[in-house]
Amino acid sequence: MYTIGQVSEMFDLPISTLRYYDKEGLFPAMERKNGIRKFGETELEALRVIECLKASGLEIKDIKRFMQWCTEGPETYAQRKELFECRREAVQEEMARLQKTLAMLEFKCWYYDTAIADGSEDGLQSMMPDKLPSNVQKLYDLAHS
Amino acid sequence: MYTIGQVSEMFDLPISTLRYYDKEGLFPAMERKNGIRKFGETELEALRVIECLKASGLEIKDIKRFMQWCTEGPETYAQRKELFECRREAVQEEMARLQKTLAMLEFKCWYYDTAIADGSEDGLQSMMPDKLPSNVQKLYDLAHS
DNA sequence: CTAAAACATGAACCTAACTTTAGGTCAAGA
DNA sequence: TCTTGACCTAAAGTTAGGTTCATGTTTTAG
């Protein structure tokens, strides 16, 4: 069993954040002794899942719902699995979006490299999507698709 | 030249958002006629860049700084390029993070699949990192690395 | 036994990025 | 002429996810 201070160090999270998560119902099984929180293995695994679901873009209130399911036994396995499938798809879509963003950023890097090397042209409008090197053309197409 | 309503449709952004961007200084070159905003090609390209930089995680006030640089001519090429490089790295790091999140989510999907198929075991603690199928072991290792 | 460190609470505060509201201007069509 | 629709502004409101504050209790080290 760990104190809130120990868990704060283990996960590199402010104590205030752990208390906030608790207040929001993210540790429905947490016990206390004289009012003091006792984090057990259940809460540590909960925190790992919280970090994962948060990174997937899920909101706190929905993470709370998941943690509630976890206290309700095998009847909720299907819902829990569906949630993870859903987050998996969301993350895949976000990665695809970021891939396009990356292409645009790489195009812009190339553009300014070229502009600096040339010592010419300015501004927001000055890139004509003709006659670019074909690898850059690919970045440009991807970024604007 | 386009009105704010036309641009709102073109970019599928609320009019209020466009006015907010303008108020925050994201269109430093925008002209007006009788107080009415006139969006030109400069502003459309600015919007494309705004969406890209926003998707990369950049804050509005930093996007404003970039737009300011764009009005200052070739002297700021180096800064602008550095910004894009910096965002490129940030996006690459974010994608690496998401890759790990994805591994964890896939592990959880596998876990609940198995639990449902087995019709056994409950809760947050019940996954021992021994004797998993080796492809699942890989997901698990990646997610916890 | 006592002082400091670590824990607790509720309430207020914070930030970013918008959105909504209330009130006003202006051009075009019936 | 009137009224409808698209535009304008400043200011207040909203939401998520915390953080800070004031105050009080419990644990721990000397």
Per-residue pLDDT of chain B (145 residues; tens, 9 = 90+): 999 999 999 999 999 999 999 999 999 999 999 999 999 999 999 999 999 999 999 999 999 999 999 999 999 999 999 999 999 999 999 999 999 999 999 999 999 999 988 775 444 444 555 566 777 666 666 666 6
Q: Is strand D in 7 Å reach of the CB of B71?
A: no
Residue A33: partners with Cβ closer than 8 Å, 6 or more residues away: none
Give residue A124's pLDDT band: very low, low, confident or very high (50, 70, 90).
very low
pLDDT at B17: 98
Q: How many helices (H) and strands (E) does chain A have?
A: 6, 2
Res B117: pLDDT: 86
pLDDT of residue A127: 52
Buried b (16+ CB within 10 A) or exposed e, A108-132: bbbbbeebeeeeeeeebeebeeeeb
> Is A11 in CB contact (< 8 Å) with chain B?
no
Nucleic strand D under 7 Å from the C-beta of A128: no
Nucleotide closest to B37 measured between CA and C1':
D7
Q: With contacts defined as CB-CB under 8 Å, which chain A residues touch B120?
A: 74
Instruction: Give me the mean pLDDT over the A19-47 stretch.
Output: 98
Helix (H) / strand (E) containing A142: helix A134-143
Place of tokens 């449902």: B116
Pull the structure tokens for residue B140.
């698990």
DSSP A22: H
Nearest alpha-carbon partner for B106 in B96, B98, B94: B98
